[in-house]
Structure 1
Amino acid sequence: MISYVTCFFFFLFPHRYLASGDSLIRLAFSYRLGHSTVANSVHMVCAAIEKGMVEKFLPRPTPDTWKEVAQRFWEKWNFPNYLGALDGKHVVIQAPPLSGSQYFNYKKTFSIVLLGLVDADYRFRCIQVGDFGRTSDGGVYAGSDLGRGMESKTLHVPQSTSLPDAAHLGDVPYAMVADAAFPLKPYRMIPYPGHNLSQKKRVFNYRLSRARMVVENAFGILASRWRIFHRRINLHPIHVDTLVMAACILHNFLLSPSENVRLLEEAEGGRQMAPVPKMGGNRASREACAVRECFATFFTSPVGSVSWQDRMVIM
């Protein structure tokens, strides 16, 4: 039989490894156990978390889920018909043997990419883990289940509907928001490019930036809670994928509603993210441009504007 002491240490090591960022060798030395024993406990517990908790804390979105996310974004971030904020994070790893430049990214480190779609309360709704660090965020998204599902319209996204109290603008599709690393689509809004923009376009960029901050905040909370993300992870990429999945699941598990209300509330009220330069010659469809123009018109209308937006936009 396995003793209670053995079970305690079996579950202690993964928590200490994720939360402290200590190396497996240091943990093994601290508890006077073998390196393989500590490593196996970390791998097994992370795999068990992924297998046993993913359906509850990272479920496949449903139409009701999308509507709930959109309603919460409108209430908290003043952005209607919003499916979530999309972005990628590089998880730095030790260079795998014989991997060439596959994991080598533009930051001059070796990494895998975590792509996340985050709701208004900093929860991950969809994630993609394990793509090579050399792959761009847009490339990771295009090859992900989320990207293919949105393109083929198989993710049960609700039908287009009018913006709040703005039926005269017509029906507008539900959309994600992202930065300029992603192409403009009817279901994905990005900022207007350039500097000499009209007041309406500047307001749109501010409102989109304000809503998009949630994904940056979610990555920040994830890394602060699990400090393993502040160091170079010296594991095989397969084990890193499982570890990142487990960390995201535990992030959703630990983020209680009461914590969401107060978390970063004061800091986020009127802040704007730094502008992102245009990162390519993406050619958007007329439909996507029309959807973005509709949002921009709504944000400068009496029913869609917020009292502080003109102060935040510097002409």
Structure 2
Amino acid sequence: MEDTDVAIAAAAVVVLSCAKLLLENKKRKRRTRRWWMLSLNKSRGRYNGSDMLLDLRRESSGKFENFCRMSAEDFEYLLNKIGPKIKKQDTNMRQAIPVKDCLAVTLRFLASGDTFTSLGYLFKISHQSISRIVANVCEALIEVLKDEIRLPHSEEDWRRIANGFYQRWNFPQCVGAIDGKHVLLQAPFNSESKFFNYKKSFSIILLALVDADYCFTFIDVGAQGRMNDAGVFACTTLYRKMIRRELLLPPNEPLPGRHKSVPYIFVGDDAFPLSSSLLKPYSGNHAKGSIERIFNYRLCRARRIVENVFGILASVFRVFRTPMLIQPEKAAMVCMTCALLHNFLRRSNTSRQIYSPNGSFDYEEDGHLKPGTWRQETSNSSLTPLSKTPRKPSQEAKDIRKEFAEYFITNGAVEWQDYVN
């Protein structure tokens, strides 16, 4: 064998030896798993979330209702609906987490906003498992409750909403109050500045339309916080149907006691552009008793209903109290779940008073605003307003707003409007 061959063979032996040593060192340094399950979580077989719920139901002081934000009857109803969708099979290694525990930990997460680690101590479930459970349960709840939020499909349905606004707030031909909020998040992974909003924080946008009974009729959630707020509205199915006149709204007609026909409209704030279908306040400061100031006051009364809905949402579902420590996709799922639960609980015979007892919403006495109880609890809400949208409206839109404004100082005037605004 020549010297060159010997040198090559020796080098190969050295390389292989080094590789073997590195592999052995890596195996020695590899962290061995210390346990399959935390000793705390092993005790779940003796006392688990289902046992805790049973104890809460035995209490007569509303502990269960406070814990889950609903009646035991509605909890069982939802459990039966989502159970087949989220049930897991037991394995030889361990038993699956009961479906009842999965629903309970998800509802407690929405109600408290506690971290998955904190909930893990309470339910004796690992925070990794809770993360998966919350996503699965929210997805199942969205599927079974999806019909709780839907736009009206007929003139009759729209007229019913309009009648509600007229009876409650003296605002005719109003078919919904619209508003949007930034839902604050922790800095998402690899997001760069996509979710960075005008207030220098990370968020997704929640846009909602509500009726006169404080229920959602439309939700759009998940738009990146950096997007222009008017642009978000323009991308929604609601806006597209609005401009294409596909909403099946009642035909134009005069306001009570007037002669000029005007359309049925939505009401919003300065975050939305004035149009023939959406009224917003007159900008600037106006003299007391002026037509502009009275219009703004009357519109504010009708629009306050959506402010109350967001207030109750953040008051009951305290996951909205602080920036969500989850990724944007899951945050959007959480928002949609809470909105669907809001409508479900508002319409429930057994949970309505638990979710929004008397006095929860703002009300009026002799024209004076009495704040709802939610205002005492949401000062630190992570739902923040959208930015204002300056945009030149069409002459048609301005004429429609003027007709409403003139109605409010003539046929539609209320006796207290001159001294409370």
TM normalised by structure 2 equals 0.68
Equivalent residue letter for 2:281? P
The alpha carbon displacement at 1:265 in A equals: 4.5
Q: Deviations over 1:105-146 (max 9, x none)?
A: 122211101001111222111110000112233221111111
Name which of 163, 174, 185 aligns with 1:93.
185
- Give, in whole Å, the separation in 2 of the partners of 1:110 and 1:208: 31
| TM superposition shift of 1:308 | 0.7
The match for 2:417 is 309
Provide the residue aligned with 2:254 in structure 1: 162
The gaps in structure 1 that reach 5 residues or longer are none
Selected match of 1:203 from 246, 271, 294: 294
Which residue, 258, 263, 270 being the options, matches 2:368? 270
Written as runs of structure 1 = structure 2, the 5 A alignment for 1:40-119 is 40-55=132-147, 57-63=148-154, 64-119=156-211
Structure 2: how far apart are the matches of 1:143 and 1:51?
A: 23
- Choose 1 or 2 for highest CA Rg: 2
Distance change >3 Å, CA 292–CA 37, structure 1 → 2: same
Q: Aligned letter for 1:299?
A: F
Provide closer, same or farther for how the CA distance between residues 193 and 272 of structure 1 changes in structure 2, counting only shifts above 3 A: farther
Provide closer, same or farther for how the CA distance between residues 174 and 272 of structure 1 changes in structure 2, counting only shifts above 3 A.
farther
Q: 1:139 to 1:96 in 2, by over 3 A?
A: same
In 2, the alpha carbon distance for the partners of 1:262 and 1:144 equals 33
- Partner amino acid, structure 1, of 2:333: T
CA–CA distance in structure 2, aligned partners of residues 23 and 117 of structure 1: 30
C-alpha separation between the residues in 2 aligned to 1:140 and 1:147?
Answer: 10
| 8 Å Cα contact 2:362-2:370 kept in structure 1 | no
> What is aligned with 2:281?
191
Contact preservation (8 Å) 2:177, 2:303? yes
> What is the CA distance between 1:5 and its match in structure 2?
7.2
The letter for the 2-side match of 1:187 is S
Distance 1:97 1:18, change over 3 A: same
Q: Which residue of 316, 330, 333 corresponds with 1:239?
A: 330
How far the C-alpha of 1:309 sits from its partner, in A, is 0.4
AA aligned opposite 1:291: I
Partner of 1:230: 321
Q: Among residues 196, 218, 243, which one is paired with 1:126 in the alignment? A: 218
Q: Secondary structure at the match of 2:183?
A: strand
Conserved in 1, the CA contact under 8 Å of 2:364 and 2:370?
no
Q: Percent identity?
A: 39
Q: Does 1:255 align with 2:352?
A: no
Whole-Å separation in 2 of the counterparts to 1:4 and 1:69: 46
Partner of 1:171: 261
> Which structure 2 residue ranges, 5 or more long, are not aligned?
1-88, 372-384
Letter of the 1:284 counterpart: P
Q: CA deviation at 1:196?
A: 3.9
- CA offsets 1:228-257 (integer angstroms, 9 cap, x no match): 000121112111111111100000111148
Aligned to 1:14: 106
* 3-state SS of 1:111 partner: strand
Q: CA RMSD in A?
A: 2.4
Which string of whole-angstrom CA distances, capped at 9 and with x for unpartnered residues, describes residues 46-81 of structure 1?
1111111111x1123222221111110000011111
User: Per the alignment, do residues 265 and 99 of structure 1 end up closer, same or farther by CA in structure 2, a change over 3 Å counting?
Assistant: closer
What do the CA deviations read for 1:250-299 (whole angstroms, capped 9, x no partner)? 001111487577542546853399xx9x9454111111111001000110
Distance in 1 of aligned mates of 2:342 and 2:320: 13
Contact 1:206 1:272 in 2 (8 A): no
Q: Could you tell me whether the CA contact under 8 Å between 1:90 and 1:114 is conserved in 2?
A: yes
Aligned residues: 306
Distance change (3 Å), C-alpha of 1:228 and 1:291: same
State the structure with bigger RCO (CA 8 A, min sep 6), 1 or 2: 1
Find the counterpart in structure 2 of residue 285 from structure 1. Answer: 394
C-alpha distance in structure 2 between counterparts of 1:128 and 1:206, whole Å? 27
Tell whether the 8 Å contact from 2:209 to 2:306 is kept in structure 1 after alignment.
Answer: yes
CA distance in 2, matches of 1:38, 1:266: 39
